[in-house]
């Protein structure tokens, strides 16, 4: 039977540009919740949380790779209510009487789908022992969508670690890093129809194995960084993948030891940014033009994550254990370091697993260890935290929409980021009725009287307008 195994996951998020200046407010870390275990390491809420996402209902949803309730529970899906600071476990991945874990174990990620369900992956177990993709209601009813099988005759990957929903309504993810026999990029529908789209290859090209996640850009292509490869070749790479044609292109290969160590984000100008080993910030275009900036921390970290916040700057974090302080940095898109913040086990926890900017302008995230002073009967193993840097609420990012033309009364799906808290959608200045589907998707109805022009989305951060017009027929 496969047992607990943890791997930290990072999410790629797009943020709009507002400006690039140092903060006038001293950023403050706040410990919101610590995941407790008793002296027998029984942890009913879970332990080692690794992901967190903001739901359209104002709650946060996350995954912890261990703990829970039930026999030998090995992970939880939980809901965190910011207003009360309470965690409610929605589902525990517990053993069956025969010792099996048919729904998987060690959940790695959870996201909100446009249909109101939660979707995610487990790293281990399931029918074939190699992890699962699941679909779950927000009240905890779980459905297994896919069981990964990784043998010579069943090459759909193993150890799934990332999942996102694309403009076409399907979910896309990656498995690995796994040499035998495959690490793959895959597509899965909300009903479980599964297809391998790309098999990662380190033998004939500088591909890497698996990904740190990927984003869908305004050109509808996916961009991401691969994980571990072979040291005597380019170790990992930046790739572009076209979900319509299946074309996979390597844009840049990284040589050991200066390798990519986390996700990519996209600027409002369309440039991609990421972090490589030794805390170095880099920029790469969608055609592969690469530029390396300086280190974002005097301490040389290997694991990292990056996002773009409502001040127009890059914010990122580096992992570290309790005896080795982690950090959060702020830098301009020109590569100038603005601040390097240190966090510790008591104030935040250790090893930040994910961090995002919520609709209120604050950053929220999870750490996979620490989080207060442990006692004889209470061992703390991870936290939910906030970081208040005095930033304004983020303006929505409108990346794309489909279809690109239609008559009054037709439905249009908007894709972007920071849609939570949307108060208005308009077509060339005419207000439309809309439904918030998730933090990244809105369904809007073309209003009567609308004319050809740009679509606008308004939230507490302001109004953002589409880069291209919608054609009213």
Encode pLDDT of 436-465 as tens digits. Answer: 999 999 999 999 999 999 999 999 999 999
Q: CATH no. for residue 164?
A: 2.130.10.10
Give the pLDDT score at 374: 59
Q: Of 388, 414, 432, which closes a domain?
A: 388
Whether 341 is in a domain gets the answer yes
pLDDT at 334 over 80: yes
The two tokens of residue 137 are 């209601």
CB contact at 8 A, 155 and 172: no
Look at residues 215, 185, 198, 200 and name the one whose alpha carbon lies nearest to residue 305.
215
Total structural domains in the chain?
A: 2
> For residues 418 and 36, what is the distance between their CA atoms, to the nearest angstrom?
31
pLDDT the model gives residue 230 = 72
Overall average pLDDT of the 99-115 stretch: 96
The answer to whether residues 357 and 431 belong to one domain is no
Is 384 in the same domain as 402?
no
The least confident of 36-50, 178-192, 317-331 is 317-331
Let me know if residue 10 belongs to a domain.
Answer: no
Identify whether 8 is part of a domain.
no
Say if residue 178's pLDDT is above 80.
Answer: no
Beta pairing partners, 286: none
Are 161 and 103 part of one and the same domain?
yes
SS3 of 363, please? Answer: strand
Distance CA 358, CA 124 (A): 30
Q: Which range (32-36, 119-123, 199-203, 204-208) has the least confidence?
A: 204-208
Is residue 19 over pLDDT 70? no
In terms of pLDDT, which residue wins out, 242 or 298?
242
- Shared domain for 39 and 143, answered yes or no, is yes
Print the domain residue range for 185: 28-388
How far is residue 323's CA from residue 319's CA, in Å, rounded to a whole number?
12
Same domain, 383 and 401: no
Q: How many CA atoms lie within 13 A of 66 on its CB side?
A: 20
356 shares a domain with 227:
yes
Contact residues for 239 (Cβ-Cβ < 8 A; gap 6+): 207, 214, 222, 223, 224, 225, 226, 248, 249, 250, 251
Of 388, 406, 422, which residue sits at a domain end?
Answer: 388
Strands 430-432 and 194-199, by their bridges, are: unpaired
Give the pLDDT score at 180: 61
Tokens coding 426:
């308009």
Residue 251, C-beta contacts closer than 8 angstroms, at least 6 positions apart: 223, 237, 238, 239, 240, 284, 286, 287, 288
Confidence of residue 335 (pLDDT cuts 50, 70, 90): very high
Structural domain includes residue 431 = yes
Evaluate whether 111 touches 121 at the Cβ level (below 8 Å).
no
Residue with tokens 């035998």: 180
Please tell me the least confidently modeled range out of 224-238, 412-426, 428-442: 224-238
Do both 373 and 401 map to the same domain?
A: no
Q: What is the reported pLDDT for 179?
A: 64
Which tens digit of pLDDT belongs to each residue from 160-175?
989 999 999 999 999 9
Rounded to whole angstroms, the Cα distance separating 75 from 77 reads: 7
- Examine residue 70 and state whether it is found in any structural domain, yes or no: yes
132-136 and 118-124 as β-strands: parallel, antiparallel, unpaired? antiparallel
Question: Which residue, 356, 439, 317, is CA-closest to 52?
Answer: 356
Domain assignment present for 21: no
Same domain, 75 and 168: yes
Residue ending a domain, among 388, 420, 448, is: 388
Question: Which position has the higher pLDDT, 10 or 281?
Answer: 281
For residue 366, count CB atoms less than 10 angstroms from its CB and return exposed for 0-12, middle for 13-18, buried for 19 or more. buried
Grade residue 16 by pLDDT with cuts at 50, 70 and 90: very low
pTM exceeds 0.85: yes
Do 203 and 267 fall within a single domain?
Answer: yes
Q: Is the distance from CB of 203 to CB of 233 less than 8 angstroms?
A: no
Q: What is the mean pLDDT of residues 57-81?
A: 96
Work out the average pLDDT over 19-25: 52
Residues 228, 193 within the same domain: yes
Q: Is residue 7 part of a domain?
A: no
Strand runs labelled E in 222-285: 222-226, 236-241, 248-254, 265-266, 272-276, 280-284
**Burial class, 402, CB count within 10 angstroms (exposed 0-12 / middle 13-18 / buried 19+):** middle
Q: Which of 284, 281, 174, 287 is nearest to 221 (CA)?
A: 287
Residues 322 and 355 in one domain: yes
pLDDT band at 24 (very low <50, low <70, confident <90, very high): low
- 7-11, 83-87, 245-249, 334-338: least confidently modelled range: 7-11
Residues 222 and 316 in one domain: yes
Which token pair is 159?
């150890």
pLDDT band for 472, please (50, 70, 90 cuts).
Answer: very high
DSSP structure string for 176-200: -S--SS--EEEEE-TT--EEEEEE-
Q: How do residues 349-382 score in pLDDT, each as one tens digit?
A: 888 888 999 999 999 999 988 776 555 556 678 9
Q: Read off the pLDDT band of 216 (50, 70, 90).
A: very high
- Contacts with 101 (C-beta within 8 Å, 6 or more apart), sequence order: 1, 2, 74, 93, 94, 95, 124, 125, 126
Of the two residues 13 and 435, the one the predictor is more confident about is 435
Query: Is 289 contained in some domain?
Result: yes
CATH of the domain at 413: 2.60.40.10
């Amino acid at each position: 039977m496969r047992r607990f195994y943890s791997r930290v996951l990072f999410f790629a998020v797009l943020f709009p540009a507002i400006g690039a200046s140092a903060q006038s407010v001293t950023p403050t870390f706040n410990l919101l919740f610590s995941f407790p275990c008793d002296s027998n390491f029984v942890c009913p809420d879970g332990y080692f949380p690794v992901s967190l996402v903001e739901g359209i209902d104002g709650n946060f949803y996350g995954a912890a790779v261990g703990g829970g309730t039930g026999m030998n529970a090995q992970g939880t899906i939980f809901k965190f209510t910011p207003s009360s600071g309470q965690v409610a476990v929605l589902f525990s991945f517990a053993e069956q009487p025969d010792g099996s874990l048919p729904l998987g174990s060690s959940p790695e990620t959870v996201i909100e789908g446009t249909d109101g369900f939660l979707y995610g992956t487990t790293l281990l177990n399931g029918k074939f022992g190699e992890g699962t993709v699941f679909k779950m209601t927000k009240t905890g009813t779980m459905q297994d969508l896919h069981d990964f099988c990784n043998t010579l005759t069943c090459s759909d990957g193993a150890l799934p670690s990332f999942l996102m929903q694309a403009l076409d309504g399907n979910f896309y993810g990656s498995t690995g890093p796994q040499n035998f026999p495959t690490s793959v990029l895959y597509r899965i529908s909300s009903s479980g129809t599964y297809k391998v789209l790309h098999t990662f290859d380190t033998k004939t090209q500088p591909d890497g194995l698996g990904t740190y996640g990927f984003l869908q850009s305004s050109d509808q292509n996916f961009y991401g960084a691969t994980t571990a490869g072979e040291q005597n070749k380019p170790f990992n790479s930046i790739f572009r993948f076209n979900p319509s044609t299946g074309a996979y292109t390597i844009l840049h290969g990284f040589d050991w030891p200066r390798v990519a160590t986390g996700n990519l984000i996209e600027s409002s100008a369309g440039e991609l940014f990421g972090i490589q080993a030794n805390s170095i910030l880099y920029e790469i275009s969608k055609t592969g033009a690469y530029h390396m900036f300086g280190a974002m921390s005097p301490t040389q970290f290997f694991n990292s994550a990056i996002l773009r916040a409502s001040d127009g700057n890059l914010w990122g974090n580096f992992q570290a254990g309790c005896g080795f302080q982690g950090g959060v940095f702020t830098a301009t898109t020109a590569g100038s370091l603005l601040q390097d913040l240190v966090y510790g086990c008591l104030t935040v926890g250790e090893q930040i697993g994910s961090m995002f900017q919520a609709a209120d302008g604050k950053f929220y995230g999870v750490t996979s260890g620490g989080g207060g002073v442990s006692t004889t009967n209470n061992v703390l193993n991870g936290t939910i935290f906030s970081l208040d840097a005095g930033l304004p609420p983020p303006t929505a990012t409108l990346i794309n929409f489909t279809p690109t033309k239609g008559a009054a009364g037709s439905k249009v799906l908007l894709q972007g980021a920071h849609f939570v808290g949307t108060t208005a959608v308009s077509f060339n200045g005419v207000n439309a009725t809309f439904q918030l589907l998730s933090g990244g998707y809105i369904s809007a109805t073309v209003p009567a009287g609308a004319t050809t022009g740009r679509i606008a989305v308004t939230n507490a951060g302001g109004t953002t307008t589409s880069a291209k017009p919608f054609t009213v027929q």
